Structure 1
Amino acid sequence: MTLVALRHARVRYGPLEALHGITLAAPGPGLTVLLGRNGSGRTTALRSLAGTVPLSGGAVLWDGADVTRVPAYERARRGMCLVPERQAVFGSLTVRENLELTAHDHTAALDAYPPLRPLLERRAGTLSGGEQRMLALSRALLADARVVLVDEPAQGMSPAVAARTYAWLAGLDACVVIAEQRLPPALRGRPALVYELRRGTVAFAGEARELTG
């Protein structure tokens, strides 16, 4: 089993503290959802796990080892994949070139997102927001990562594509952590661990079914 965690994590942006000593753990294989409005700290928590935002206090743990000082690129080499909310693809490269940066055989990605097939020779920067999201998630799928961190995975997608996206994220043989403003309807009834953040603190921790009543 894979486990990533924040322990008493604090993050500061200049004079402002975005995370106030939060503790949370995401086991895998399985899905963990970080919920919260803008400014709640959910994206900061996700990026702290990935190493793209440094902690000012506390620790990041991965399988029991302290990786707080391990840089983001090294975490990626060890099997951690971050899909940020923005700038998640290389806009000057084609769809095909974006996929081939991760794996030469991108059949699995096109099977997951068939709408990308006719767009292979298009530059990624010319795609719609939903299409770019599909491309970014396809690259995460091809990476075969042990830990997958995704900020708002279905942004810009149609309801049908979004539902398919959440289904394969929930079914990955990996520790999957996603950040969302609210619990997606497609995840209601699915096994998922949920942390709700408010103003940099954990306001709720439990199963998704506890939120949906």
Structure 2
Amino acid sequence: MDGLSAGYGDALVLSGLSLSVDPGEMVAVLGRNGAGKTTALLALAGLVPTTAGTVRVGDVDLTAAKPGARVSAGLVSVPDDRGLFPSLSVAEHFRLIGSSVDEAAALFPGLAKLAGRRVGACSGGEQQQVAVGLGMVRRPKVLCVDELSMGLAPQVAGELLAGLRTLADEGDTAVIVVEQFVDAVLAVADRGLVLSEGRVTHDEPAAALLADHASLEAAYLG
């Protein structure tokens, strides 16, 4: 995204936000509640109106594209509500997009034993594995994951982050993740962005942000 402004009604949440992520790169997006993190991902997905700026994947301009067209172009999002159907089994979710649990289990081995279970009967961590797995098996050019660890134990969140790191390391996918476990995500990400009031205040190597975590948290993360 370049110079993107977006919001809800008369309330502008993003103001000239720019973010570029390369294939094989994993970027952590951090910030206080209300900083614009979720709105940024929704704007990328085409789910909130934008008033300025552009969204591109490679050479393809998606600024005016509908959400479905963005997915077809390789821009895939995992929302914070996971977007799953409680009455369908794990396997049925993957069949809906022409894939299989086995493909996702290469990154999340625990999914294999859940194939026949209704998603509504899965734990929060298992549901998040399904949601992220559904995004991964599309082999997107850009994968955006919002609030990866919401409601999850740190160990489960760590396993999910490791899966995203593996996907990025395969080299074809740029990964953008909004995450509340700052230390955990900066330990595996390449870069960290801090948002405040819809603007980028820090865009640095993840290791540099992690080293200055104490002052960073006091000033920006709350």
Query: TM-score range with shorter-chain normalisation?
Result: 0.7 to 0.9
Secondary structure at 1:132 match in 2 = helix
Alignment deviations for residues 12-43 of structure 1 (CA, whole Å, 9 cap, x no partner): 21121111111221111110111112211011
Secondary structure at 2:182 match in 1 = coil
Instruction: Show the counterpart of 1:175.
Output: 174
Alignment of 1:121-132 (within 5 A): 121-132=116-127
Q: Does 1:81 align with 2:80?
A: no
Q: How big is the alpha-carbon RMSD for the aligned residues of Structure 1 and Structure 2? A: 1.9
- Contact (CA 8 Å) 1:79, 1:145: kept in 2 or not? yes
Give me the whole-angstrom Cα distance separating, in 2, the residues matched to 1:139 and 1:98. Answer: 8
Percentage identity across aligned positions? 32
1:205 pairs with 198, 203, 206, which one?
A: 203
The alignment covers a number of residue pairs equal to: 207
Instruction: Show the counterpart of 2:96.
Output: 101
Structure 1 range deviating more: 169-178 or 152-161:
152-161
Q: Displacement, 1:60?
A: 1.2
Give me the whole-angstrom Cα distance separating, in 1, the residues matched to 2:31 and 2:7. Answer: 18
Tell me: CA distance 1:44–1:186, structure 2 relative to 1, closer, same or farther (3 Å).
closer
Considering fraction of residues, name the structure with more strand: 1
Instruction: Show the counterpart of 1:185.
Output: 184
Q: What amino acid maps onto 1:18 in structure 2?
A: V
Considering fraction of residues, name the structure with more helix: 2
Alignment of 1:126-165 (within 5 A): 126-165=121-160
- Contact (CA 8 Å) 2:149, 2:180: kept in 1 or not? no
Give me the whole-angstrom Cα distance separating, in 2, the residues matched to 1:143 and 1:94. Answer: 19
Q: Displacement, 1:176?
A: 0.7
Q: What amino acid maps onto 1:179 in structure 2?
A: V
Give me the whole-angstrom Cα distance separating, in 1, the residues matched to 2:39 and 2:84. Answer: 20
Q: Displacement, 1:64?
A: 4.0
2:7 pairs with 6, 12, 28, which one?
A: 12
Q: Does 1:57 align with 2:71?
A: no
Q: What amino acid maps onto 1:207 in structure 2?
A: P
- Contact (CA 8 Å) 1:79, 1:147: kept in 2 or not? yes
Secondary structure at 2:86 match in 1 = coil
Structure 2 gap segments, 5+ residues each = 212-222
TM-score normalised to the size of structure 1?
0.87
Give me the whole-angstrom Cα distance separating, in 2, the residues matched to 1:89 and 1:7. Answer: 31
2:25 pairs with 24, 30, 50, which one?
A: 30
- Contact (CA 8 Å) 2:43, 2:50: kept in 1 or not? yes
Structure 1 range deviating more: 138-147 or 176-185:
176-185
Give me the whole-angstrom Cα distance separating, in 2, the residues matched to 1:25 and 1:186. Answer: 18
Q: Displacement, 1:127?
A: 2.3
Q: Displacement, 1:202?
A: 1.0
Tell me: CA distance 1:34–1:205, structure 2 relative to 1, closer, same or farther (3 Å).
same
Structure 1 range deviating more: 151-160 or 33-42:
151-160
TM-score normalised to the size of structure 2?
0.84
